[in-house]
Amino acid sequence: MQIKTASRLGLLPPYLFAELDRLKKEIQKKGVDVISLGIGDPDLPTPAHIVEALKRAADDPANYRYPDYQGLDRFRSAATDWYRRRFDVKLDPAREACAVIGSKEGIANFATAVVDPGDIVLIPDPGYPVYFSGCVFNGGEAYFMPLRKENGFLPDLEAIPAEVARRARLMWLNYPNNPTAATAETGFLADAVRFCLKNNIVLAHDLAYSEIAYDGYRAPSVFEVPEARECAIEFHSLSKTYSMTGWRIGFAVGNETLVGALGRVKTNMDSGPFQAVQEAAIAALEGPEDSVREYCAIYKQRRDLMVDALQELGLSCERPRATFYVWAAVPKGYSSASLTERVLKEAGVVITPGSGFGKGGEGYVRFSLTVSSERLKEAVQRLKALRL
Ligand SMILES: *Cc1c(COP(=O)(O)O)cnc(C)c1O
């Protein structure tokens, strides 16, 4: 039989990291010792007290059954308590918080909760690919907001045409930002909230990197802007903060109607995160923060190593105040893809072409700082030998 898959699959570009992974395996097969600075997946282990909490919870048969759809009450309280301590933002755990199976899941499903066919979704370009996937899977129309260096990689809200703003239902923002590593101040988030309230747009803020910060920088929550409670939802993940990408746990907080709508979608699509993982996540959110500080110090050291080396090599980049990425402009004569390809084939180093995050990323590549300093130094040596 001729199998026909849904036409929506045809609307997606190949998932960036799946494609990079295939290329990497191809080169590895040739015996090359590949250094991966591609995907942003922490190499540092999940802190021991969190792993211990999982082990204890895995011994309790009460955790073997279907979890609560929205997450354990105690998990949601741990999340909102953490928000109060971290951002001085008070949220009701019962109505304004929902567990997600990693924030990628929540981000994708949130579009189902708010986007109708024909609605415009305002998406940062370059940006995390899932904002676009969620949009097109639900019949939405993407309007890309370019993130330009001259604007500090913040979207220019004034440049959004009135007609687009009128038809827009949802805006995605993500600061600290992947892939540009840019940060936003509360003032910018306040401008975005004002813009969204004026135009009846739901504001979704992806806060996956709030805790990976340096040089005294403290990333704000959108809910530090009081009016955000009227129009916004924020997605938080334990993946980056506690090196828990494989555990699949995060949460969404914010406007009660928005959190409730996400919860209704999820009730019909999944059955919540494994309760033992929620127990471990409670231990993470309520436990000591030493590991977070320690890991940030390690990333900072790697950041300085990489930024110094890239600047020496003539790849222009900023020294980021947050995230474990360095976003660098490609040298003259290269595109994002041609530099990525040459670096992989001739140096055995995987980096991510900026163009894989959208047209606005063309001319840039992203380096992940998720390997040891020794491996980073080795990568730098190999890059030097290329004489870019
Ligand atoms: C890593 C990442 C996420 C989500 O990670 P999960 O593991 O699904 O929680 C979300 N947004 C951005 C921008 C990311 O880089």
Counting ligand 1 atoms within 8 A of each CB, the residue from 15, 17, 100, 103 with the most, and so the one to mutate, is: 103
Ligand 1: centre distance to CA 103 (Å): 6
Closest atom of ligand 1 to 105 CA is 8
Verify that 73 and 220 share a domain, yes or no: yes
pLDDT exceeds cutoff 80 at 127: yes
Q: Reading across the β-sheet that carries 232-237, which strands appear in turn?
A: 97-100, 250-254, 232-237, 202-206, 168-173, 120-125, 141-146
Closest atom of ligand 1 to 244 CA is 7
Verify that 363 and 266 share a domain, yes or no: no
Q: What is the pLDDT of residue 22?
A: 84
Verify that 24 and 123 share a domain, yes or no: no
Is there a domain that residue 1 lies in? no
- List the CATH number of the domain containing 34: 3.90.1150.10
Range of the structural domain that residue 296 is part of? 7-45+291-386
Verify that 240 and 346 share a domain, yes or no: no
Ligand 1: centre distance to CA 226 (Å): 25
Q: What is the pLDDT of residue 44?
A: 98
pLDDT exceeds cutoff 80 at 242: yes
**Which of the listed residues 271, 286, 301 is the one where a domain comes to its end?**
286
Mean pLDDT of 185-196: 98
Query: What's the CA gap between 59 and 52, in Å, rounded?
Result: 11
Q: What is the pLDDT of residue 23?
A: 82
Domains: count for the chain: 2
Is there a domain that residue 70 lies in? yes
Distance of CA 135 to the CA centre of its chain: 16
Q: What is the pLDDT of residue 280?
A: 98
Verify that 240 and 105 share a domain, yes or no: yes
pLDDT exceeds cutoff 90 at 209: yes
Q: Kindly report the pTM of this predicted structure.
A: 0.97
Q: Which residues line ligand 1 (CB under 6 A)?
A: 40, 102-104, 128, 174, 178, 206, 208, 237, 239-240, 245, 250
CB 343 within 8 A of CB 349: yes
Query: What's the CA gap between 280 and 20, in Å, rounded?
Result: 31
Is there a domain that residue 240 lies in? yes
pLDDT exceeds cutoff 90 at 297: yes
The enclosing H or E element of 300 equals helix 290-313
**Which of the listed residues 260, 286, 312 is the one where a domain comes to its end?**
286
- List the CATH number of the domain containing 255: 3.40.640.10
Give pLDDT tens digits for 333-369: 999 999 999 999 899 999 999 999 999 999 999 999 9
Is there a domain that residue 161 lies in? yes
pLDDT exceeds cutoff 80 at 90: yes
Query: What's the CA gap between 146 and 220, in Å, rounded?
Result: 22
Mean pLDDT of 244-270: 98
Q: What is the pLDDT of residue 357?
A: 95
Ligand 1: centre distance to CA 208 (Å): 6
Mean pLDDT of 15-44: 88
